[in-house]
Structure 1
Amino acid sequence: MARNRVRIASLLALTTVLALTAGCGGSSDASSKDDGHPHDGAPVVVATTTWEGAFAKAAGAKDVKVIVPQSVQHAPDYDPKPSDLAAVADADFVLYAPFEPYAEKIKAAAGSDAKLVEVNLDNDAGKVTGEVARLGKLFGTESAAATWQKGFGTQYAGLQRELKAAWPGGKAPAVVTQVFTAWSAKMAGAQVVGTYGPEAVSAKQLSELSAKKPELVLDNAHMSTGTVLPDSGAEQVKIVNFPGKDLDLLPVYRDAAAAVKAALAKS
């Protein structure tokens, strides 16, 4: 409750700052969108994190601004700044995830008429292509989204082949995965013998998961609780979900595949 009161107070303060700014000569900013904002019909997208931003870029958006810095590991802990509100005020779309409760408050505080779009942040290949197609339709960039999907499908299939070729003895590896990194197990064609998280593994889970004798533990780098199955002999692999500043989703898959291949070589 205390943290929530701090955040609400922060947003109220930011609203006041924005209002004062507008009253001190913000008319040119307000009119820039009304008299034909120079983005040539392409949507201006504000994304709460690089993950949503990468989905938007894949869908064909060219003008994408990200609010939460990449260095922030847990997005809901971020406190928006006045500059964040200014970016939202000029957006056509604001992309957010359900676990980011401040997104709608940001839009309301900024007085934006942007469309608030909830994004299903899951790097499962099928879900990604579905979200990219949906966003492309919203943005009016269906052709660009379709082109990205085609290239993604080709690269993803190639990574699947590489990972299958890396299976020890030609057999699908047994893995335990954190719930938000299950997509990487699917890409590897692994046999998922157990899942955990997002909370830390309990003593009971530790015993049950270790008994499954997994070869790998796929851990969420953004929510890691340390060594998940100590003394089990399983190789732990850090899987990164969030794209970098370039908002490119493909390196997320390539990096995950490389990490899994390296771990399989040790198992």
Structure 2
Amino acid sequence: MARTRVRTARLASLVALSAALPLLAGCGEDKPASGTGTGTGTGSKEAGDKPVVVATTTWEGAFAKAAGAEDVTVIVPQSVHHAPDYDPKPSDLAAVAKADFVLYAPFEPYAAKIKEAAGSKAKLVEVNLDNDPAKAGAEVTRLGALFGTKDAASQWKTRLDAEVTKLNGELKAVWPDGKSPTVVSQVFTAWAAGLAGATPAGTYGPEPVTPAQLASLSAKKPAFVLDNAHMSTGTVLPDSGAKQVTVVNYPGEDLDLLAVYRNAAAELKKAMSGS
């Protein structure tokens, strides 16, 4: 398989252009209930064709790569920890203009604006960014059908299932005192608790924890708090005795989604083994 090409757009600000464009509420208000946008592109590719994909972040880019896309351009640099704050640039529009598909998440308000500003005929596709293995596998399968790369998507899902089974076994082997630990998770890191086979005690965020939440979650005496590296609010349950573990949802520039699971497992293993 050809190496995935990841191009991160870098040029001057889009302030003037942004001011002239309407901000489409919810990243594309014409999006149907199925979650796939109504772009005027060709949709699924013909057999043998390779889809050209633009993804707003490495997270969407990793889903595209897992689904079998080989030509993937990522717009938001990995160094931007809070992707919705990113200010698109003219070079981003140039990349979109050549795309077959533009992948975005609903919490990214600029995705539809990027596509409209570029005059692109790409298909705008909303991606369910959830690293829960079952949900991730289903989303990759959906994208593979859309891209015309079903076989590649199926092969990746097989690797995902094997990786999750392996990591789950390794984490269970280091459970403190041999028992499933009780954890509190940020809403976007609950998947990591499942990976560890942990016992969920509740979630928080994305807003800061309120005093009432603090009291309620602390009373459940969790052993660990799974914080979100990209939306951290600092120490979540101070004085509770819970050890805070940072979970990273976004893949690196190699767009390896499986590495996200391995990295989370490594952090959890260190925390649970006391190292």
TM-score (ref. length: structure 1): 0.86
Deviations 1:118-172 (A, max 9, x none): 0000000000000000000000000111111111111110000001111112210
Alignment of 1:56-67 (within 5 A): 56-67=64-75
1:111 paired residue number: 119
Q: Is 1:96 the counterpart of 2:96 in the alignment?
A: no
1:77 to 66, 77, 85: 85
Cα shift at 1:77: 0.8
Distance in structure 1 (CA, Å) of the matches to 2:66 and 2:247: 21
Distance in structure 2 (CA, Å) of the matches to 1:170 and 1:243: 31
Specify the SS of the correspondent of 2:183: strand
Bigger helix share: 1
2:50 paired residue number: 42
Deviations 1:65-123 (A, max 9, x none): 00000011111111111110000000000000000111011000000000000000000
Counterpart contact for 2:14–2:89, Cα < 8 Å = no
2:18 to 11, 24, 34: 11
Alignment of 1:16-27 (within 5 A): none
Change (3 A) 1:137 1:242: same
Specify the SS of the correspondent of 1:180: coil
Specify the SS of the correspondent of 2:130: coil
Counterpart contact for 2:185–2:226, Cα < 8 Å = yes
Alignment of 1:232-251 (within 5 A): 232-251=240-259
Distance in structure 2 (CA, Å) of the matches to 1:138 and 1:9: 34
Counterpart contact for 2:67–2:144, Cα < 8 Å = yes
Query: Which runs of 5 or more structure 1 residues have no equivalent in the other structure?
Result: 1-5, 15-39
Q: Is 1:145 the counterpart of 2:184 in the alignment?
A: no
Distance in structure 2 (CA, Å) of the matches to 1:112 and 1:10: 16
- Report the RMSD for the aligned CA atoms in angstroms: 1.8
1:260 paired residue number: 268
Counterpart contact for 2:14–2:90, Cα < 8 Å = no
Identity, in percent, stands at 70
Cα shift at 1:173: 0.2
Counterpart contact for 1:12–1:109, Cα < 8 Å = no
1:177 paired residue number: 185
Q: Is 1:159 the counterpart of 2:167 in the alignment?
A: yes
1:219 to 220, 227, 230: 227
Cα shift at 1:10: 4.0
Deviations 1:28-55 (A, max 9, x none): xxxxxxxxxxxx7200000000000000
Counterpart contact for 1:11–1:106, Cα < 8 Å = no
Counterpart contact for 2:67–2:141, Cα < 8 Å = yes
Specify the SS of the correspondent of 2:189: helix
- Name which one, 1 or 2, has greater alpha-carbon Rg: 1
Distance in structure 1 (CA, Å) of the matches to 2:212 and 2:154: 46
Distance in structure 2 (CA, Å) of the matches to 1:214 and 1:181: 15
1:87 paired residue number: 95
The ranges of structure 1 where at least 4 consecutive aligned residues each deviate by more than 2 angstroms after the TM superposition are 6-14
Change (3 A) 1:86 1:13: farther
1:127 to 120, 135, 154: 135
Aligned residues, how many? Answer: 238
1:21 paired residue number: none
Specify the SS of the correspondent of 2:80: coil
Query: Which runs of 5 or more structure 2 residues have no equivalent in the other structure?
Result: 1-12, 22-47
Distance in structure 1 (CA, Å) of the matches to 2:117 and 2:256: 30
Cα shift at 1:11: 2.2
Specify the SS of the correspondent of 1:205: helix
